[in-house]
Structure 1
């Protein structure tokens, strides 16, 4: 069920700040514009870095690795040609695009609000507007990692390394973007 909920791409979910954040943001219109600019730049930079890595490494996805295990050079593995994933994608596996984009966005929110501990909700576009609540910005990342693996879309390494990439993108943004001119 978690894998099915995480089927929707990250860009559809990240643009809906919930309750408390909305009220905080409304109090400062300049802050609102700045936050959404930073979120969009972080997402774009994370996606660019992610897709550069995907095509550099050109790593096979779990369903290919499982169905073609006799071609991996390891005599201890055997193929399971009947195994099918819940989700598929037409591009290389490593790193996880969902984690790159969502990880950068969530890290930006942590830095913007100066804390990880803010309750927020993510509303599903697939499950009748159902909202899943979290108590920290860092909480969804573990769920997303697990969901992508359970769906058969990624190996854990692709998700964990995408999380690292996303944190580096957010850190770079914090130290290089939106600095005073002059």
Structure 2
């Protein structure tokens, strides 16, 4: 289970969350940059002192790694396609609160998911499919469909254990926070995938992929696509996705109720 209390008071995590929130707020409200600069500078200076003190007294001299690792894709809430923000007419304070909640939840999701991955050490589909079992024949050269977004690489499987799914855990956490924050699951918005942006090439046809956006009527609809996508591309089992989404939603509920 997620070690949320440790995360909430971990200076390294707090600093990463603050940096993400700062970048988002400056993008949304550039006229207030001077104010945000002062707030961020003072807060991070305090956190750096706390972190140095924590490292100095730690028995195992923990080295904290950025939230961006491993396997983390940072959302850009300022992108025009993230249309669940602007139509709601959120204030600066409300947006800051939402970004903080989302980042806290995703930080916990990363910690909880990768803790589970290396606790259970469960194999990926590619390992199972390439081996014989009592009821199935091996497919020695089988490859998954997914992962090459720029057409220049192979369709690889992530080089860490399968259970639980990081994508599903992140999705459960993010969309869980959004449902709780807005008090509804019904929300019309669209998202633009990196794979279909009019720039990247298809790894099979070598043709530039057209611009395609996905349109949603609810947070759950997008969460479901995030959930199913990792199964369809062949890098996760459904059990990975089920457990990951449940974990992410539980994290979102805890984070929201603790900071409501």
TMscore range, shorter length: 0.7 to 0.9
Contact 1:21 1:120 in 2 (8 A): no
d(CA) in 2 for partners of 1:14, 1:164: 24
TM-score, normalised to structure 2's length?
Answer: 0.59
1:63 matches 2:122: no
Note the aligned Cα RMSD (angstroms): 1.9
Contact 1:13 1:124 in 2 (8 A): no
Q: Deviations along 1:39-78, whole A, 9 cap, x unmatched? A: 11111111110000010010000010110234xxxx2232
TM-score, normalised to structure 1's length?
Answer: 0.83
Max Rg structure: 2
1:44 matches 2:107: yes
SS in structure 2 opposite 1:160?
helix
d(CA) in 2 for partners of 1:20, 1:98: 20
| Structure-2 residue corresponding to 1:11 | 73
Q: Which has the higher contact order (CA 8 A, sep 6+)?
A: 1
Deviation at 1:130, TM superposition (A): 3.2
Unpaired segments of 5 or more residues in structure 2? Answer: 1-70, 147-156, 198-210
1:30 matches 2:93: yes
d(CA) in 2 for partners of 1:10, 1:79: 32
SS in structure 2 opposite 1:118?
strand
| Structure-1 residue corresponding to 2:247 | 165
Judged with a 3 Å threshold, the aligned counterparts in structure 2 of structure 1 residues 20 and 172 are, in CA distance, closer, same or farther, namely closer
SS in structure 1 opposite 2:228?
helix
Runs of 4+ in 1 over 6 A off after TM superposition: none
After the TM superposition, which residues 102-141 of structure 1 pair with which residues of structure 2 at under 5 Å, given as runs? 102-128=171-197, 130-141=212-223
d(CA) in 1 for partners of 2:216, 2:223: 11
